[in-house]
Structure formats: structure tokens, C-alpha cells
Amino acid sequence: MHAIDKVIKPQIVGMDIANINQLTARIQSSMVNNYSAKAAVEIAVYDLWGKLYNSPLYKMLGGGSPELETDITISVDDVDKMVADSLLAIEQGFKILKIKIGKNIDADIERVKAIYQAVNGAGQIRLDVNQGWTAKQTVFAAKALEDAGVQLELIEQPVKSQDIDGMRYVTQRVSTPIMADESAFSPKQVIHLIQTGAADIINIKLMKTAGLSNAIRIADIAAIYDVDCMIGCMLEGSIGVAAAAHLASARASVISKIDLDGPALGQYDPVEGGVNFDHAAITLSDGPGLGIQSIKGLQELTNGVWQ
């Protein structure tokens, strides 16, 4: 909150909300790193930009369908629990499962085989290794799963974020598409990943890119190179994820994969209006900006900072 109130805010107060490019450039240059703070301010600014022109954000960004479909994350656990969670997700209408692994490679292979067999074609399988394997381990695991008849949609960030050579080693040796996540924060990093053949897919997250402006750049860069993207999220609530959903709609030609299940996993959503998260179905409002009408329980502090 200090970064927003004391560093970013003084640099943008008084600027014209219509000058969205100037505004976001000022936000990005306001400090080094602190991606989440910049992202939060950019999301608010883009919301106001849409409100200024009385148009939903996804239409301001180019237009698209207000209907999206997300996958669901299956957390790493023992095999029986992961199989049960996967089957429950299928029953709830999810057609794509993102399986978290990366603890122990032999156990991981058995987890994936068991889930794939249990699901029996009712849903696609994505693997999120969370930097848990080496490059050679990834090649071994991918080929073992391929030989066992397991068809995966993708493998996400199998190696350490800084190991771009390792990513390229894997990408060149397996048929399953490899997706960069922690290796892909900035537009420059994405260009390097694509030009060196280190990844087949790029995972865009607003909390990595420091907001929408860089996320838009990354999507447009990927489109130039004909590289698919996923839109993902971290631990942000429905407001931050709503902004990501609007971007996904507006750049649907390149953002072909949706991983925005965070709000649907919460006990309740205090946000009224905006984006509706109903299991796998995500529906964008046609209200201006993000379409948010109110937030239950929001209170203003004496210094003007919301809590």
C-alpha cells in the first residue's frame, strides 16, 4: 500500500484518464519491480478509462466474446486424493484440468497416469511442474508419459525460471508443447524465449507483467510470431482476475488458453457486478470498465486509503 500511496499516486494524480498510454507509462516508470502494486494501479486506471467512454474494457481493447471457459487447478497430493479431486472437477463441468506436480518425478509420473486413466477422455490434462524438474528429468518424464499413451495439452515451466537453455533443451526434444511461466515476466523476456525456441506457449499473468499494458504488449508480440498464450492468475481476487478476463476476450485470437479459476475457488465473492465466475464458465459484464457496481464490506480509512 505504501508503494501505491506514496510512490505511484503522486506521479499520476492530475493526469487525464483519456491519455491511457501516458498514464500507464508513468506507472511503469514510477519504481523498479513491485509488479503487484503497478498492476493494481493499472487495473484501476483501465477501469476508469472504460468508464470514461461508457464501454466495457474488453470492447475498449478491441472487442471479443463475453463468454470464456477456464480450467481448474488440481493441487499436488497423494494419488487417490488427486484422482478424486479430478473426477469431482469433471462432475462440476470443468473440461480442462491443470495438474500441479514437481515434488518427485517418479511419483509425479504415476499421479498423471492415474488421473489420465480415471478421467478417461472426459477432460484435457495440463501439467504445471512449478520449476520442479531438471531439463533431462522433464524429457524423461514427458517421453515416459507419451509412451504410456498419456496425451497432454502442455507442460508448464518444468525447469527453473532462469534456465532458458534448459527450457530450449526440453522444447526441442519432446512433442508435448512447453509453456513458459516464471521465465516470462516482461515483453523482452518473451521475445527472447520465442526467438531462441525455448517455449511453445507463453503464460501471461497481470501480477507478473505489472499490469495490463505489458500484458497487451506480450499478447501482441506472441501474435506476430504465431505463438499461443495462456492467461493465468496468482492469488488475486475477482477484480484482478476480471481485468485478465477482459484482456483474454479482447486478444482471444492469441490467448487460446484460460487459467482463471481463482475466484471460483473462494468461499464467496464480495464484488457485485463485473465478471461472473461460475465453475468453468466466466461471463463478462457489459457494464463500463470492469463493470463492477459495488464491493461488500469495503470501508474507507481516514487517510483516504481503502481497506
- pLDDT tens-digit map of 229-287: 999 998 888 999 999 999 999 999 999 999 999 887 777 788 888 899 999 999 999 99
Exposed e or buried b for every residue in 46-80, given b needs 16+ CB within 10 A? bbbbbbeeebbbbbbbeebebebebbbbbebeeee
pLDDT of residue 201: 98
- Rg for the chain (alpha carbons), in Å? 20
Set 205, 208, 257, 296: catalytic member: 205
Shared domain check, 69 and 55: no
* Domain that includes residue 17, residue range: 2-59
Q: Find residue 100's DSSP bridge partners.
A: 128
113: annotated active-site residue: no
Shared domain check, 89 and 36: no
- Which residues of the chain are modeled with pLDDT < 50? 306-307
Structurally, the chain folds into a number of domains equal to 2
Which of these three, 59, 85, 108, is where a domain ends?
59
Residue 226 burial class via C-beta count within 10 angstroms: exposed 0-12, middle 13-18, buried 19 and up: exposed
Set 59, 98, 100, 257: catalytic member: 100
User: Is there a domain that residue 302 lies in?
Assistant: no
Shared domain check, 91 and 21: no
Cell representation of residue 36: 503487484
Shared domain check, 230 and 212: yes
The model carries a pTM of: 0.94
Answer for the pair 31, 7: CB distance below 8 angstroms, yes or no.
Answer: yes
Shared domain check, 117 and 10: no
Cell representation of residue 110: 504415476
Assign 125 to helix, strand or coil: strand
6: annotated active-site residue: no
Of 79, 43, 112, 81, nearest in space to 274 by CA:
43
Shared domain check, 87 and 16: no
Of 132, 198, 196, 131, nearest in space to 167 by CA:
198
pLDDT of residue 266: 75
pLDDT of residue 303: 57
Shared domain check, 71 and 50: no
pLDDT of residue 170: 98
User: Is there a domain that residue 307 lies in?
Assistant: no
Shared domain check, 72 and 8: no
Rounded CA-CA distance 180/157 in Å is 5
User: Is there a domain that residue 210 lies in?
Assistant: yes
Shared domain check, 133 and 83: yes
